[in-house]
Amino acid sequence: MGKFNYVAVNKDGSDIKGIVEALNLNDALTKIKAMGYFPSNVVPEDKDNTKKKLKIFLLEKLSFLKPSETKVKEIDLVIFTRQLSVLLDAGLSLVRGLQTLKKQTRFKTMNIIITDIVDMIESGRAFSDSLAHYPETFSKVYINIVKAGETGGAMDQVLRRLADFLERNLKLRQRINAALIYPCLVLAVSMTILVLIVVFVIPKFMEMFQDSGVALPFLTLAIMNLSDFMLTKWYLILGGIGLLIFGYKLLLCNFIFRKYIDNLKLKLPVLGLLTQKIIAARFSRTLSTLLSGGVPILHALDLTKEVTGNEVVANSIANVSEHVREGGFISKVLEHNSAFPQLMVNMIAVGEESGSLDKMLSKVADTYEEEVDVTANTLTSLLEPFLVLVMGGVVLLIVLAMFLPLLTLIQSLT
């Protein structure tokens, strides 16, 4: 028998690591599943301890390079959740509802997931425990709201609320992407034109200048050298871009670097304001959905902390959780944190005083989702003329670099 290192997910959706003795890989997988875990990675234990540690490090830190095999698109998850809530509301049992959705779905991944979930439910597992086996598809927020629905016995209402939550999050992301599409398109087209000029147009001028023997100014020489470098050393440029992207993603695995970047995002002009409003909307919507779904406030805050997407804000929410555990109010902690808008803090304070925090948080989310839309459009309107000016300036430099020697050549001929 040999030893196998494994990374798995338990019924709560948490990652666990361990070692299991087995005859082979299939036997190891069987034993891990028998313990109630869902294995995400199982590898034979290496006798060389240094090599083993390196493998584990690469598994954890470079996981972003591995394509997900169980990831479902957000829109598909919204449709699944919405349709399941409708079927349950119509009186179908959970298993019958899932089997109906399985027949209707056109996506292989979703079909496999539903089949596995049905098998686990029929074997005696709870719905929420079954969902926890697919953490890439069902977030901890999703799983905990479903768990609260199982306790309260109103699964159709909980799933409807979940579908609304997922749909609003999807629309928020789509608004931001739609606002940034045009500036990105302008930038891409402009860069393409510049590359074409540098690669195809400038070499023609280079041949003419070399034949004429005219003295070239510094600007012209610089542009010509850049063109020559792009033509002959293009692979170094592509390799450098690839290394920068890879290095940035690798550095993001480091908590200190990630926290520094997240703090920078909050302080950038215009972009920082947009980031704050996105976080405010996401925080309010998630916490509202969890509280209205029956999740206890302390647990709800811990879950909300994980979906903010910002380490600085997550640390602030952890402080809020500690304050609430001691009997304090959420608003009292947030009012001293510049990452949260003052209007949001005031509205939360009103919700806490009136005993309707979940409803007030929902209104806060509505407010900031609209403001995100306005701010994103404002950012777009600022970026468009800026990009035009920058690209126009670059084109002007290229034109000057090419025509200055031509003027000198013309003067020498007259």
CATH among 1.20.81.30, 3.30.2320.80, 3.40.50.2300, 1.10.760.10 for 74-167: 1.20.81.30
Nearest to 396, CA basis, from 227, 197, 217: 197
HEC letters along 315-334:
HHHHHHHHHHHCCCCHHHHH
- Asked whether 263 and 255 are in contact (CB, 8 A), the reply is no
Query: Which string of DSSP letters, residue by residue, matches 40-80?
Result: EEEEEPPSSHHHHHHHHHHHHHTGGGSPPSS---HHHHHHH
Residue 243 pLDDT: 93
Residue 48 pLDDT: 44
Residue 360 pLDDT: 92
Q: How far apart are CA 302 and CA 308, in angstroms?
A: 11
Residue 66 pLDDT: 46
CATH H-level superfamily of 177-414 = Type II secretion system (T2SS), domain F (1.20.81.30)
Burial of 314 (0-12, 13-18, 19+ CB in 10 A): middle
In the chain, which segments carry CATH 1.20.81.30?
A: 74-167, 177-414
Backbone angles phi, psi at 40, to 5 degrees: -105, -20
Q: Left (φ > 0), alpha (ψ -120 to 50) or beta: where does 15 sit?
A: beta
The ranges of the chain with pLDDT < 70 are: 1, 11-14, 40, 45-71, 152-153, 211-214, 411-414
Residues sharing a CB contact under 8 Å with residue 311, sequence separation 6 or more, in sequence order? 255, 258, 259, 262
Sheet holding 38-44, edge to edge: 15-22, 2-9, 38-44
- Asked whether 311 and 255 are in contact (CB, 8 A), the reply is yes
Residue 244 pLDDT: 92
Residue 40 pLDDT: 67
Residue 92 pLDDT: 87
- Asked whether 5 and 45 are in contact (CB, 8 A), the reply is yes
Residue 413 pLDDT: 63
